């Protein structure tokens, strides 16, 4: 290899190094975002499964007796 080829190789390696330094933060950000998206998706799926089990096991609407008892409690607290 002569001097011109070595200088060309060094120049090419410098350009590639600068390109890597410019692209690296973007690639790291994309990887981080994908990991966060995956964690959010897994958490939503787990939450959906958990809520699906809860909703089938009990009713979400309170009974009339509960409303009546709540009204009696509030009147009792006001009078004392």
pLDDT digit string (tens) for 5-33?
999 999 999 999 999 999 999 999 999 99
Report pLDDT for 48. Answer: 85
How deeply is 55 buried, as exposed, middle or buried, from its count of CB atoms within 10 A (0-12, 13-18, 19+)?
exposed
Report pLDDT for 40. Answer: 94
pTM > 0.75: yes or no: no
63: its two tokens: 């009974």
20: its two tokens: 């890597």
Domain parsing of the chain, residue ranges: 24-54
pLDDT above 60 (res 79) = no
Work out the percent of the chain whose per-residue pLDDT is above 90.
55
């Amino acid at each position: 290899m002569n001097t011109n080829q070595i200088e060309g190789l060094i120049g090419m390696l410098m350009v590639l190094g600068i390109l890597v330094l410019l692209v690296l933060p973007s690639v790291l950000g994309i990887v981080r975002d994908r990991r966060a998206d995956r964690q959010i998706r897994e958490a939503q799926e787990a939450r959906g499964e958990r809520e699906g089990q809860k909703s089938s096991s009990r009713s979400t609407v309170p009974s009339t007796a509960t409303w009546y008892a709540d009204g009696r409690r509030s009147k009792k607290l006001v009078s004392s």
